[in-house]
């Protein structure tokens, strides 16, 4: 599924440069979870991945605004995931706090563990475990609202809520991937391997991100 380029860009090229290189590194409030080194089932393949850290939840509006001072959001949405953020915006934020975006393979391992499960909690869909269209909210939920949907490593919101940018390209290196589905999609589009292709400066109400860092 592809989306046309949109004209609105929340962070200019100059601000991306500023965030990436001029802000002092600071610890993210969002807890980092260690994903150990080892094998992981990525689709039909088994891959060896180095140990890394990934944020326990999606980056919230409150966290995002600490770095991007002019970010605006609805009152009461401080704990909801930051949305309408482009790949470049997400990448700049992660660099500003001393991290990076996870790769698609890292994201899948954090969500599915080593056994390649369909959902973070197992192979059978549970409507109460994720903010998908089946939940009937039709909007983002505060991060961590669906605690029963945690992954084998305790990472939350990796099915539904918002699509998440990852640092991986499609084969033509034209589109970046987003993972995990959103509140807008049904169960079949919110698995641990569900992905969406989009140009890097696209932004939507149903897309966000979380950061990772090397061990």
Q: pLDDT-based confidence at 43, cuts 50/70/90?
A: confident
pLDDT tops 50 at residue 31: yes
Share of the chain above pLDDT 70, in %: 87
| Domains defined along the chain, listed by start | 13-214 (3.90.1580.10)
- Strand-strand pairing, 176-179 and 212-214: unpaired
Q: In this predicted structure, what is the pLDDT of residue 208?
A: 98
Q: What is the dihedral of CA 176, 182, 186, 192, to 10 degrees?
A: 60
Handedness of CA 101, 107, 109, 113 (dihedral sign): positive
Q: What is the pLDDT of residues 126-181, one digit of tens each?
A: 999 999 999 999 999 999 999 999 999 999 999 999 999 999 999 999 999 999 99
């Amino acid at each position: 599924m592809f989306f046309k380029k949109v004209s609105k860009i929340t962070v200019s090229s100059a601000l991306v440069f500023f965030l990436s290189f001029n802000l002092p590194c600071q610890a993210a409030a969002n807890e980092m979870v260690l994903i150990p080194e080892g094998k992981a089932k990525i689709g039909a393949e088994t891959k060896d991945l180095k140990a890394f850290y990934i944020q326990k939840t999606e980056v919230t509006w409150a966290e995002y605004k600490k770095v991007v001072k002019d970010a605006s959001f609805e009152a009461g949405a401080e704990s909801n995931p930051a949305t309408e953020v482009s790949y470049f915006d997400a990448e700049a934020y992660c660099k500003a706090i001393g991290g990076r975006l996870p790769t698609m393979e890292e994201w899948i391992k954090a969500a599915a563990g080593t056994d390649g499960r369909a959902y973070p909690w197992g192979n059978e869909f549970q409507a109460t475990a994720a903010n998908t269209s089946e939940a009937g909210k039709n909007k983002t939920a505060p991060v961590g609202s669906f605690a029963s949907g945690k992954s084998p490593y305790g990472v939350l919101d990796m099915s539904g809520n918002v699509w998440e940018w990852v640092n991986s390209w499609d084969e033509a290196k034209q589109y970046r991937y987003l993972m995990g589905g959103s509140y807008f999609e049904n169960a079949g589009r919110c698995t641990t391997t569900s992905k969406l292709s989009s140009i890097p400066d696209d932004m939507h109400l149903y897309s966000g991100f979380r950061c990772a860092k090397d061990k």
